Amino acid sequence: MTTKNITITSKNQITIPADIVREFQFNKHRRLTIRKRGDELILKAQPDLEEQLSDIWNQLPGFSGTKTDAELKATTAEAWKNKSL
């Protein structure tokens, strides 16, 4: 477990240390969830849109592992042709 000290600004903002930002590959629009557990605060990254869509696509028949727009279009066309959608 990694422990880092951070400071809350006058605007109630915190800065996540750069090494953690790089490790988790956060971008400037990444959303986090904060949870209180006893006397601890836990930050957890919310899945980004690509991760959310990937989870949804992988639940659909024939879409497992599909990543690009062209692959999605081809898989969708095939699924409609076979009436599996």
| Structure confidence by residue, pLDDT tens digits, 59-72 | 777 666 656 778 77
Question: Which is it for the CA torsion 38, 10, 20, 46, positive or negative?
Answer: positive
Q: Of 54, 52, 77, 49, which is closest to residue 66 (Cα–Cα)?
A: 54
Q: How confident is the model at residue 84, as a pLDDT?
A: 57
How far from chain centre, in Å, is Cα 76? 24
Domain boundaries, the chain: 1-46, 49-81
Q: What is the pTM of this model?
A: 0.53
Instruction: Give the pLDDT of residue 51.
Output: 74
Domain 1-46: which topology? Pemi-like Protein 1; Chain: D (2.10.260)
Q: Per residue in 38-54, pLDDT tens?
A: 999 999 988 777 777 77
Task: Supply the pLDDT for residue 48.
Answer: 74
Average pLDDT, the chain: 83
